[in-house]
Amino acid sequence: MPHSAASLPARLRGFRPSWLSPKVLRTEVLAGLVVALALIPEAISFSIIAGVDPAIGLFASFTMAVTIAVVGGRPAMISAATGAVALVIAPLNREHGFGYLVAAVILAGAFQIALGALGVAKLLRFVPRSVMVGFVNSLAILVFVAQTSELRNVPWAVYPLFAAGLALLVLFPRITAAVPAPLVSIVILTVITVAAGIAVPTVGDKGALPSSLPVPGLPDVPFTLDTLATVAPYAFAMALVGLMESLMTAKLVDEITDTRSSKTRESIGQGVSNIVTGFFGGMGGCAMIGQTMVNVKVSGARTRLSTFLAGVFLMVLCIVFGPVVSDIPMAALVAVMIMVCIATFDWHSVAPATLKRMPAGEITVMAVTVVCVVATHNLAVGVVAGVVTATVVFAKRVARHADVTAATDPDGSQVVYAVTGELFFASSNELVGRFDYAGDPDKVVIDLSAAHIWDASSVAALDAIEHRYAQRGKSVEITGLNGPSARLHQSLSGELTAAG
């Protein structure tokens, strides 16, 4: 009994979450504080884009971060109010009012839960690496471009403060990694500007911070089919954009941390977070890749605690320390985000040595992704364009591997066509023209032992070949079909319209 009692604390320690260890706890707490500071000006900016009060964006960032920390699938990822979501719902708020915006956020959450349950997250495996690299690089470019607006038409004192911030971010980690360099930079630059009375743009210039917690309630809209018809298109667009950005960000964090996460749980978690956010009067959101990089790559966070605390600290900073937070110079936060851009951009992907070895198709896919994202300021558009381009490049590459060789028997009684490669819409369209219908003997054998039939287009092409030979009184025998190809050919042959 004494031995059992003595070993109980040891057994309980085995159930202790990893974030309770002093070292991890310190990292997660400080990371959450840094992210919270970085979220404030971002959330206010996105509120302006959506056409709502700054407090609405801050409330959304608070409820999204706290909720996703519990129900999300990717630990350490930050979800909050985002520019992509703001762009989608801004027209709805402008044309119909804030109540409809809130209703759209709640409905978008329901759509995301449904899409997650249907397994839409599994489609992520069809996103090639070149699109992922383009996604990351375009994100870094977008965040960088967004920061440059804070460095134009500003007092000259902003520039030395910005330079000092970059110097601290580069040099301080060489002294110690115990405290995140971004936090040190923000604190030191704030103290300098306040103590010296330097007049530069601050967080407070972005908008008023909330002075109380959000209160739950229902959206102020008539609960009718007309309302549903008005809200549904915006809600569905928001659901798709939010899921795509969140799942791509989750995949990126998986690669950075060398861990796996449940994308289905993340999809459902995003939906739950948006529903909660809507009922608290927030503008909705999704994963924020910039703040996630601050949390994971710059601050070293790895658990849900940092995400949860980012939301909690956000409200504490606004409500309790609002006057202090309002004095933070924007130059300090811009320096942090610029360093995030530099760390996020995949410099290896654009190195001359890499570009020389990379296939032209891969470079094209990456470039299309980057150009579309930067041109539209919409990560979802770029990802879709990149995937479509990658599909076309892949189809053309595989189509070239399909070949046809002919061998006529010595006695001239039959000819055997050996078809090799993958037969699908891109390759089978040219297949019909590879045969000598007029000059071949009366018996034709098409050997598909080294080929595979993938779709109805290939079956239709084979039917067309048989039909052309039949018009000349010649017979065709198809041999060598593997199991799946034979089943597809048997089920569709003769049921499709033969090509002339």
Report CA 154 to chain centroid distance, whole Å.
33
| Cβ atoms of residues 488 and 495 within 8 Å | no
Q: What is the dihedral of CA 297, 303, 304, 309, to 10 degrees?
A: -70
Looking at residue 237, what is its pLDDT? 85
What is the C-alpha R_g of the chain? 29
Please give the Cα distance from 138 to 373 (Å, whole number): 6
Looking at residue 449, what is its pLDDT? 94
Please give the Cα distance from 290 to 416 (Å, whole number): 60
What is the number of alpha carbons within 13 Å of residue 243 lying toward its C-beta? 31
| Cβ atoms of residues 387 and 126 within 8 Å | yes
Average pLDDT, integer, range 461-484? 93
Question: Given the structure tokens 């229902």, which residue do they identify?
Answer: 218
Give the chain's mean pLDDT. Answer: 88
**Number of Cβ within a 10 Å radius of residue 265:** 16
Give the type of residue at 137.
Answer: N
Give the type of residue at 289.
Answer: I
| Cβ atoms of residues 168 and 188 within 8 Å | yes
pTM, two decimal places: 0.75
Average pLDDT, integer, range 290-297? 89
pLDDT classification of 373: cutoffs 50, 70, 90: confident
Most trustworthy range by pLDDT among 28-32, 81-85, 495-499: 28-32
Token pair listed for 107: 């409905």
Quick one: which of 82, 97, 99, 80 has its CA closest to 32? 80
pLDDT tens digits along 214-256: 999 999 999 999 999 999 999 998 998 899 889 989 998 999 9
Looking at residue 183, what is its pLDDT? 86
Average pLDDT, integer, range 429-457? 91
Looking at residue 380, what is its pLDDT? 75
**DSSP secondary structure string, 150-210?**
GGSS--TTHHHHHHHHHHHHHHHHHH-SSS-HHHHHHHHHHHHHHHHT----BGGGG-PPP
Helix (H, G, I), strand (E, B) or coil at 464: helix
Measured CA to CA in angstroms, residue 324 lies from 74, 124, 194, 202, 327 at distances of 32, 42, 10, 11, 5
**For residue 356, with 0-12 CB atoms within 10 Å meaning exposed, 13-18 middle and 19 or more buried, which class applies?**
exposed
- Long-range contacts of the stretch 151-154 (C-beta < 8 A, 24+): 151/334, 154/200, 154/201
pLDDT classification of 41: cutoffs 50, 70, 90: confident
Is a pLDDT exceeding 80 seen at residue 500? Answer: no
Please give the Cα distance from 380 to 373 (Å, whole number): 8
Question: Given the structure tokens 């530099």, which residue do they identify?
Answer: 342
pLDDT classification of 309: cutoffs 50, 70, 90: very high
Quick one: which of 396, 398, 390, 389 has its CA closest to 452? 398
Looking at residue 53, what is its pLDDT? 87
DSSP annotation of 327: T
Between 77 and 204, residue with greater pLDDT = 77
